[in-house]
Chains A and B, each alone.
Chain A
Amino acid sequence: SQELEQSPQSLIVQEGKNLTINCTSSKTLYGLYWYKQKYGEGLIFLMMLQKGGEEKSHEKITAKLDEKKQQSSLHITASQPSHAGIYLCGAGDYNTDKLIFGTGTRLQVFP
């Protein structure tokens, strides 16, 4: 079965710094999703990537999909306290409704 590993598990950065979170799959990636979760709350959809080499941006968050490496990265530019939370990657497949989630990366941003 497919496994998604995220790195780092935890990240503490100063406000204004850039950061990158990685998500590596044990199998070929088809649909790759990034979600943000605040403690005790639901998952907020950030972006969906489907094609190798695809890159999407929303405000200061950019995500890329490297199909060959079976990997996606999420990059935050000039981080702010509002970026704090748990970032989850999720992978889909053609033959299933099931979304597999990664282990999560906890991000803290201090002033």
Chain B
Amino acid sequence: EPEVTQTPSHQVTQMGQEVILRCVPISNHLYFYWYRQILGQKVEFLVSFYNNEISEKSEIFDDQFSVERPDGSNFTLKIRSTKLEDSAMYFCASSGLSGRSYNSPLHFGNGTRLTVT
């Protein structure tokens, strides 16, 4: 069964450094997402991406964050200058149906655990 893959599984970085989290969505999917989960808290929406542009973003997704689909397969999340509070599990997801959340089951990757020291 096709799946969403994320690399690396764990990333440790120092505060102020840039990190890039990588994702390969399911090949025929058109809608891509990043979510995060701070330890012990809920899974939170960061951003959705369709047709090479951001379609929606949350208040968490500030200027320190950016997303890109550099080629036909990868989808990346960049954090420009990491802060301690960015430590979390970051999940990539994709959907083949539509961007709207009421009818669009998301398929998630296994996540990248980001630790900022």
* A interface list, Cβ under 8 A from B: 30-31, 33, 35, 40-45, 48, 50, 88, 90-104
Query: Would you list 25 pairs from A and B whose C-beta atoms are within 8 A, ordered by A residue?
Result: A35-B108, A40-B111, A41-B111, A42-B6, A42-B91, A42-B109, A42-B110, A43-B43, A43-B106, A44-B108, A45-B106, A88-B43, A92-B101, A92-B102, A92-B103, A96-B56, A96-B101, A97-B33, A97-B56, A97-B101, A98-B48, A98-B58, A99-B45, A100-B45, A102-B42
Question: For this complex, into which size category does the number of interface residues on chain B fall?
Answer: 20 to 34
B102 touches A41 (CB 8 A): no
* B interface list, Cβ under 8 A from A: 4, 6, 31, 33, 35, 42-45, 48, 55-56, 58, 91, 93, 99-111, 113
Kindly identify which residue among B31, B43, B44, B113 contacts A40, using a CB–CB cutoff of 8 Å.
B113
Kindly identify which residue among B55, B106, B111, B113 contacts A99, using a CB–CB cutoff of 8 Å.
B106
Instruction: Give the secondary structure class of A's interface.
Output: loop
